[in-house]
Amino acid sequence: MTTQARTAQSSPALRRNPFRWRPDHQWEAYLFLAPSLLGFLVFVAAPVVMSFLLSFVSWNLLQPPDWVGLANFRHLLTRDPVFWRVMGNTAYFMVTIVPLQLVFGLALAVALNQAIRGILLYRVIYFMPVVTTIVAGAIVFQFLLNRDFGIVSRVIWDFAALTGLPIEPPDFLNSTRWSKPAVVMLTLWKNTGFTMVIYLAALQGVPQELYDAAHVDGAGAWQRFRNVTFPLISPTTFFLFIIQMIGAFQLFTEAYAMTRGGPAQSTTTVVYYIYQNAFEFQRMGRASAIAWILFVFIFLFTYIQTRMQRRWVHYEAG
Amino acid sequence: MGNATALRRNARGLPLWGRLALHTVLIAGSGLMLLPFLVMLLVSLMPKEVILTRAYRLELVSLQNYFETFRVVPFGRFYLNSVIVATSTTVLQILIASLAAFAFARLRFRGRDALFLLYLTTLMIPFQVTMIPNFVIIRYLAWYNTYQALILPSAFSVFSTFLMRQYFLTLPMDLDEAARMDGAGSWRIWAQIILPLSGPIVATLAIFNFQGSWNDFLWPLVITNTPSMRTIPVGLAAFQGQYNTEWHLLMAGSVVALLPVLILYIIGQNWFVRGITLSGMGGR
C-alpha cells in the first residue's frame, strides 16, 4: 500500500497534471498482463536465452549437453560444405522470388487500381492462393509439373511439335537444375496476391490531385507512374522488400512439401537445414547455431536496407 | 467544377481498347491463379486410370476418391485436430492479447514503456531461433504430441498484442474516465467498454489468426509424431509422402484440406484483406 502511494506521488505525469483524476493501476495492470507475460517468458524470452546457450553445446537430447565453445560455428562456417550449399540455395530463392513478387504484385495492383469492372472479383481470385495450405498447393504443382502427364510438359511437347524445335520438357522435380524454379513457381503463385493487396492499399492512398496536376503539366501515363506513383509508394516497396527478404530467408514449407529439399539437396534451405539438424540428426546445438547465423544475416540485411533506404524511399514531409 | 471532373475522367478512365487489353491480361492471369484449384477438383472427382490416359469425361465424375481418402488416412481426425487447435489458438490469443493490450494502452504502471519495447524487440527474432528451445521446453513439460503443445506456444502473440494496443489507443480516454467516475473498475471497462468497441480489430485478428493457425506447418510437424495428433497440413504432407503416386487420393485430400479456409475466405474476404493490409502496414 505504501509503495503504491509513493509510486503515485512520484509519477511525473501525475505531478504535471494534478487535477486530472488518475488512479494508480500498478497491480491491476500486472494482473491484466499476467497471462501474456507468462507466455512471453516461457515461449519467447527464455527460449531466446536458451537458444543462445544451446549454440555453444553439443547435445543429442539423450546425453547431457556438452559445452563445446565456438565449435558449432567453426564447423559450420569452415568445414561444412552443406551449410554453404544451403546458404547458396537460400540466396537463389531470395534473388528470384523477391524481385519477381514485387514486380508482379505491383503490376497487378496498378491494373486493379484502374476504373474497370470486376475489380472485386479479380482481387478475390488473385488473393485466393494466399489463404490456401501450402502442402495442398505443392501437391497440385507436383502434378502439373510431372513430366509424364503434367499440363506444363504437355504444353511444352505441343509447342515443340508445332514449331519443330528440338525442345523437351524438363523433369522439374527430379532435376537439380529445375527443382529450384519449381519451388519459385509455387511460391509466386502462393504469395503474389499478398504483395498485390498491400500495393493496392498504398496506391489508393495516392492523392488524385497529384495525378491531375501531372496531367495538366503534360505528363504521360508512364511519366505519371515513374514520377508520381512510384516515389509516393516507395515506403510500401521498402516495407514489402524487407518482409519478403525475411520470408525468403525463412523459406521452408514450400521446399519441404514440393521436393523434400531434394534432389541432391538442391532445394534444401537454411531453415530446412535447421530442421534436419535438430529433428533428423538430433544435433540441437548445431541447429541452434545455424538459427543464430540466420538471425545475424536477417538482421544485417535489414540494417543495410534501412540505411540505404534514404537514397530511394520518399516519406511525405511533415 | 466541370473541368475538374473531366480531368478526373481523363486521368483515371481508360479508353475502350485499354480496358479490353487490361481485361484480357487479368482474365489470363486469373486462369493461371485458378488452374491449380480446378485441376485439384477435377482430378479428385475422376477414377485413378483416367489420370494417365487423360481421358477426362463428365460421366466419370464421382465422390469415390473422397470416401477412399477418408478410409486410408484418418482425415476425420486431422480435421478435428485442426478445428480444435485453430479455434483454441485464436480464442486464447485474442483474449490474452486484448488483456495485455488493455494494460499497455489504457493503464499506467511502472515499467510499461520499457516492457512494451522489450515485447517489440522480440518481433525481430525469427521463429526458428526459439523453435528448438520451445521443443525442449515442451518435452520437459511432457507435452510432446499433445494439444497443449500445439496450442499454448501460439496462444501468445506479441504481434496481436501490438496491433490491439494500437487500436485501443485510438479510442478516446474520456470513455474510461467517465466509466471510472461512475464507479466501474478496470475489468468492467475492458469487458463492457473497450472490447465491444473493438469489433473490427477482433474480427480481423480472429479470421487472420484462424487462417494462420489452420495452415501452420513447421511447429505441428516437429511437435507431433502420431497420426492421432496431426493437423491437416502435416497429415496431408505425411499422406503425400506415403501415397506419392496416388494422385486421385492426394487431390481429394487437398480439396478436403482447403475447403474450410476457402469457404471462410469467400464469406469474409474483406476481413482477410483488412487483416493482411493491417499487419502489412504495422497496424497503422
Whether residues A95 and A242 fall in one domain: yes
Phi–psi pair at B265, nearest 5 degrees: -65, -45
Among A41-45, A221-225, B273-277, which stretch is predicted with the lowest mean pLDDT? B273-277
| Chain CA centroid to CA B190, Å | 26
Whether residues A81 and A134 fall in one domain: yes
User: What is the predicted pLDDT for the residue at A253?
Assistant: 93
A11 lies within 8 A of chain B by CB: yes
Within chain A, where are the H helices? Answer: 2-10, 12-16, 26-40, 46-54, 71-74, 81-112, 119-127, 134-144, 151-163, 179-204, 208-216, 221-224, 230-232, 234-249, 253-259, 270-279, 284-308
Residue A17 has pLDDT above 50, yes or no: no
In-domain check, residue A262: yes
Domain map (residue ranges) of chain B = 12-67, 74-280
Supply B134's cell numbers: 520451445
Instruction: Specify the 3-state DSSP secondary structure of B84.
Output: helix
- Write the CB contacts of B141 (distance below 8 Å, at least 6 apart in sequence): B148
Residue A22 has pLDDT above 80, yes or no: no
Give the residue with greater pLDDT, B274 vs A170: A170
Helix (H) or strand (E) holding A57: strand A57-58
Cα(A167)–Cα(A161) distance, integer angstroms: 9
Whether residues A257 and A297 fall in one domain: yes
Whether residues A235 and A154 fall in one domain: yes
Maximum pairwise Cα distance, chain B: 77
pLDDT-above-70 percentage for chain A = 91
A308 lies within 8 A of chain B by CB: no
Over residues B169-194, mean pLDDT:
90
Residue A48 has pLDDT above 90, yes or no: yes
Q: DSSP per residue over A172-217, as a string?
A: GGG-TTTHHHHHHHHHHHHHHHHHHHHHHHHHHTS-HHHHHHHHHT
Whether residues A28 and A163 fall in one domain: no
- Write the CB contacts of B57 (distance below 8 Å, at least 6 apart in sequence): B50
User: What is the predicted pLDDT for the residue at A20?
Assistant: 46
Supply B122's cell numbers: 522480440
Q: Please give the DSSP secondary-structure letter assigned to residue A282.
A: -
| Chain CA centroid to CA A205, Å | 24
User: What is the predicted pLDDT for the residue at B13?
Assistant: 67
Whether residues A81 and A163 fall in one domain: yes
Triad A108, A114, A119: Cα angle to 5°:
70
Over residues B138-150, mean pLDDT:
94
Q: State the first-to-last Cα distance of chain A, in angstroms, to the nearest integer.
A: 46
User: What is the predicted pLDDT for the residue at A186?
Assistant: 95
In-domain check, residue A285: yes
Triad B16, B17, B18: Cα angle to 5°:
90
Residue B5 has pLDDT above 50, yes or no: no
User: What is the predicted pLDDT for the residue at A214?
Assistant: 84
Cα(B40)–Cα(B51) distance, integer angstroms: 12
Nearest to A251 by CA among B217, B24, B148: B217
User: What is the predicted pLDDT for the residue at A19?
Assistant: 42
Nearest to A113 by CA among A193, A197, A228: A197
User: What is the predicted pLDDT for the residue at A318?
Assistant: 37
Fold of B74-280: MetI-like fold (1.10.3720)
User: What is the predicted pLDDT for the residue at B89?
Assistant: 96
CA atoms within 13 A on the CB side of A50: 20
User: What is the predicted pLDDT for the residue at A307?
Assistant: 86
In-domain check, residue A61: no
- Please, which residues 222-281 of chain B have a Cβ atom closer than 8 Å to chain A? 222, 232-233, 236-237, 240-241, 247, 250-251, 253-255, 257-258, 261-262, 264-266, 269, 272-273, 276-277, 280-281
Which CATH number fits the domain that encloses residue A301?
1.10.3720.10
Among A22-26, B187-191, B234-238, which stretch is predicted with the lowest mean pLDDT? A22-26
Whether residues A30 and A169 fall in one domain: no
Give the residue with greater pLDDT, A105 vs B276: A105
Instruction: Specify the 3-state DSSP secondary structure of B13.
Output: coil
Q: What is the pTM of this model?
A: 0.86
CA atoms within 13 A on the CB side of A18: 3
Whether residues A156 and A39 fall in one domain: no
Range of the domain at A263: 73-311
Q: Please give the DSSP secondary-structure letter assigned to residue A250.
A: T
Question: Angle at which helices B75-106 and B158-169 pack, to 10 degrees?
Answer: 40
Instruction: Specify the 3-state DSSP secondary structure of A66.
Output: strand
- The residue type at A30: Y
Task: Write out chain B residues lying below 8 Å of A44, CB-based.
Answer: 122, 125, 130, 156, 158
Q: State the first-to-last Cα distance of chain B, in angstroms, to the nearest integer.
A: 33
User: What is the predicted pLDDT for the residue at B280?
Assistant: 60
Confidence class of residue A47 from pLDDT cuts 50, 70 and 90?
Answer: very high
User: What is the predicted pLDDT for the residue at B283?
Assistant: 39
Residue A219 has pLDDT above 90, yes or no: no
In-domain check, residue A32: yes
Beta-carbon separation of A198 and B280 below 8 A = yes
Cα(B111)–Cα(B90) distance, integer angstroms: 28
Question: pLDDT (tens digit, 9 = 90+) per residue, A273-298?
Answer: 999 999 999 999 999 999 999 999 99
In-domain check, residue A65: no
Whether residues A168 and A198 fall in one domain: yes
Please tell me the distance in Å from A33's CA to the nearest CA on chain B.
Answer: 5
User: What is the predicted pLDDT for the residue at B33?
Assistant: 94
User: What is the predicted pLDDT for the residue at B142?
Assistant: 93
Please tell me the distance in Å from B30's CA to the nearest CA on chain A.
Answer: 6
| Chain CA centroid to CA B121, Å | 23
The rounded mean pLDDT for chain A is 86
Cell 479510442, residue located = B171
Q: Please give the DSSP secondary-structure letter assigned to residue B74.
A: -
Among A13-22, A181-190, B175-184, which stretch is predicted with the lowest mean pLDDT? A13-22
Whether residues A133 and A250 fall in one domain: yes
Question: pLDDT (tens digit, 9 = 90+) per residue, A91-112?
Answer: 999 999 999 999 999 999 999 9
Question: pLDDT (tens digit, 9 = 90+) per residue, B197-255?
Answer: 998 889 888 888 888 899 999 999 999 999 999 999 999 999 988 887 788 899 999 99
Please give the tally of structural domains in chain A: 2
Question: pLDDT (tens digit, 9 = 90+) per residue, B80-121?
Answer: 999 999 999 999 999 999 999 999 999 888 888 899 999 988
User: What is the predicted pLDDT for the residue at A183?
Assistant: 95
Cα(A250)–Cα(A254) distance, integer angstroms: 10
The rounded mean pLDDT for chain B is 86
- Please, which residues 201-230 of chain B have a Cβ atom closer than 8 Å to chain A? 211, 214-215, 217-218, 221-222
Nearest to B251 by CA among B29, B10, B50: B50
